């Protein structure tokens, strides 16, 4: 069996805005990486997949492949947040109104070529050309081999509100550490040997670049390696090491896309049910307040005027203000007086301040 990892650029590109790069990696069951690099646009990505396919191949794609919900987010995305919250991992929301549909069109193109989309509910495939959706963050914190026991590494972005000059070294150091841990997979089952291909070997031999465009290429290739290894882990161990996110707990049919996610026992449904009850902290809110956010330059700027009565509390502790302007979600990790530290739907950290209204400089 061969394993393909595709960190797909979600946008498809137009004449006005060219498509972004996708990272692509082809991994053999022996752990040898036979190809690694980047594609630009769907045509290029489909060609690469076809060129590196075998009769029996599993492709894991980091992009939504099946989207049928009209609004909000898919169940699989909700379950990412429910089961991986302790590691500060959740997922972006996708619905039929979402503009970035490259994953859907990639699936359709490959199905026309004879590939089969697999939602994972019947276990790993034994043969054929099979396509499934994955999410590298769940692998990073769900695979014990990588050693992220407490939270995800900030290689995508450092803490919001931190000056760029301080944030960039933290981000690049986290990326280099993650690469060193992925390199250790060569000694595990299934293996993945970064040193076996010149492009992935560069990840090991060269430090993270300071130029953002070059860093993005490095990040995309790293994610593609993680996607390919996730496919190998799923094929090798199936439900013993992974879970299928997006399966309704009442036993009803899936009906929408799924994410196949490596996991620890605490990240499975049973563990998640007990962990997510009032998972996020209470927020002491004034009856009416101006919500300010801390910018990257250290300034406090207005986000909006809110009434505490307009917030609803969900079972996991999330505060949601809906129907009054743009939706606002507050998932509180800590509160120091009027300052709250929260994460959004993508697990990005934000710092807010609740200033009573009127008063506190507002009237």
pLDDT digits (tens, 9 = 90+) for 40-78: 999 999 999 999 999 999 999 999 999 999 988 899 998
Can you list the alpha helix ranges (DSSP code H) found in 7-163?
41-51, 75-84, 102-112, 136-142
At residue 15, does pLDDT exceed 60?
no
Within a domain: residue 24? yes
Within 8 A by CB and 6+ apart from 320, the residues are 311, 312, 313, 314, 327, 328, 329, 330
Q: 361 vs 41, which has greater pLDDT?
A: 41
Residue 363 belongs to a domain: no
Please give the pLDDT value at position 74.
Answer: 92
**Of 85, 74, 72, which is closest to residue 342 (Cα–Cα)?**
85
- 197 and 124 fall within a common domain: yes
Distance CA 317, CA 165 (A): 34
For residue 362, being part of any structural domain is answered with no
| Final residue of a structural domain among 249, 275, 301 | 275
pLDDT value of position 276: 42
Least confident of 61-75, 85-99, 210-224, 315-329: 315-329
Instruction: Say whether both 232 and 313 belong to one domain.
Output: no
- Banded pLDDT at 274 (limits 50, 70, 90): very low
- Please give the pLDDT value at position 292: 92
Statement to judge: residues 46 and 156 lie in one domain: yes
Owning domain of residue 344: 288-356
Domain co-membership, 226 together with 302 = no
In a domain? residue 309: yes
Residues 267 and 303 reside in one and the same domain:
no
Question: Are residues 266 and 300 part of one domain?
Answer: no
pLDDT of residue 273: 45
Do 216 and 325 belong together in one domain?
no
User: Alpha carbon 318 to chain centroid distance?
Assistant: 19
Say what percent of the chain tops pLDDT 70. Answer: 90
Q: Is the pLDDT of residue 267 over 60?
A: yes
**Do 254 and 307 sit in the same domain of this protein?**
no
Residues 343 and 255 in one domain: no
144 & 271 share domain: yes
Residue 134, in any domain of the structure: yes
Task: Give domain status of residue 281, yes or no.
Answer: no
Domain edge (last residue) among 245, 275, 305: 275
Domain assignment present for residue 315? The answer is yes
Model pLDDT, residue 277: 45
What per-residue confidence (pLDDT) applies to 272? 46
Mean of pLDDT over the chain: 89
Q: What is the mean pLDDT of residues 119-124?
A: 94
* Cβ contacts of 30 within 8 Å, gap of 6 or more: 191
Examine residue 70 and state whether it is found in any structural domain, yes or no: yes
Same domain for 241 and 324, yes or no, is: no
Sign of CA dihedral 166, 170, 171, 176: positive
Does pLDDT of 234 surpass 60? yes
Please list, in sequence order, all residues whose beta carbon lies within 8 angstroms of the beta carbon of residue 132, skipping any fewer than 6 positions away. 58, 59, 60, 61, 65, 117, 118, 119, 120, 231, 234, 258, 260
The pLDDT value given to residue 249: 81
User: How many residues are listed for the chain in this entry?
Assistant: 363
Place of tokens 């506190």: 360
49-53, 87-91, 215-219, 222-226, range with the lowest pLDDT:
87-91
Structural contact between residues 293 and 342, judged by C-beta atoms closer than 8 angstroms: no
d(CA 363, CA 358): 4
Domain boundary (275, 297, 324) is at 275
Q: Is the pLDDT of residue 363 over 50?
A: yes
pLDDT (average), residues 245-262: 89
Q: How many domains does the chain have?
A: 2
Q: How do residues 147-186 score in pLDDT, each as one tens digit? A: 999 889 999 876 666 777 788 898 999 999 999 999 999 9
The 10s digit of each residue's pLDDT in 189-207 is 999 999 999 999 999 999 9
Q: How confident is the model at residue 325 (pLDDT cuts 50, 70, 90)?
A: low
| Per-residue pLDDT at 318 | 85
Mean pLDDT is lowest, of 35-39, 258-262, 275-279, 293-297, for 275-279
Q: Do residues 108 and 27 share a domain?
A: yes
pLDDT at 108: 97
Of the candidates 233, 231, 215, 210, the one whose C-alpha atom is nearest the C-alpha of residue 178 is 215
Confidence bin at 275 (pLDDT 50/70/90): very low
């Amino acid at each position: 069996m061969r394993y393909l990892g595709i960190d797909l650029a979600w946008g498809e590109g137009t004449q006005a805005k060219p498509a972004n790069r996708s990272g692509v990696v082809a991994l053999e069951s022996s752990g040898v990486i036979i190809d690694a690099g980047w594609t630009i646009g769907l045509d290029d990505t489909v060609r690469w997949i076809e060129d590196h396919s075998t009769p029996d191949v599993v492709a894991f794609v980091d992009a939504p492949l099946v989207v049928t919900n009209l609004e909000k987010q898919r169940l699989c995305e909700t379950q990412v947040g429910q089961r991986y919250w302790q590691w500060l991992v959740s997922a972006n929301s996708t619905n039929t109104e979402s503009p970035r549909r490259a994953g859907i069109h990639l699936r359709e193109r490959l199905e026309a070529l004879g590939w089969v989309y697999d939602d994972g509910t019947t276990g790993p495939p034994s043969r054929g050309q099979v396509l499934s959706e994955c999410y590298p963050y769940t692998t990073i914190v769900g695979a014990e081999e990588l050693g992220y026991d407490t939270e995800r590494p900030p290689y995508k972005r450092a803490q919001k509100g931190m000056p760029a000059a301080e944030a960039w070294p933290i981000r690049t150091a986290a990326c280099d550490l993650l690469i060193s841990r992925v390199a250790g997979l060569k000694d595990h089952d299934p293996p993945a040997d970064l040193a076996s291909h010149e492009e992935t070997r560069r990840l090991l031999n060269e430090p993270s670049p300071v130029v953002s465009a070059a860093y993005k290429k490095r990040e995309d290739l790293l994610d593609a390696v993680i996607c390919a290894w996730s496919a190998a882990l799923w094929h090798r161990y199936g439900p013993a090491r992974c879970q299928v996110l997006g399966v309704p707990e009442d036993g009803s049919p899936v009906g929408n896309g799924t994410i196949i996610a490596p996991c620890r026992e605490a990240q499975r449904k049973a563990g998640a049910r007990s962990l997510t009850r009032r998972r996020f902290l209470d927020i002491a809110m004034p009856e009416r307040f101006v919500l300010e956010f801390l910018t990257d330059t250290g300034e406090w700027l207005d986000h909006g005027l809110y009434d505490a009565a307009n917030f609803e509390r969900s079972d996991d502790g999330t505060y949601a203000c809906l129907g009054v302007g743009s939706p606002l979600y507050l998932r509180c990790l800590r509160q120091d007086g009027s300052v709250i530290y929260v994460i959004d739907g993508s697990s990005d950290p934000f710092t807010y301040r609740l200033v009573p209204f009127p008063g506190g400089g507002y009237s």
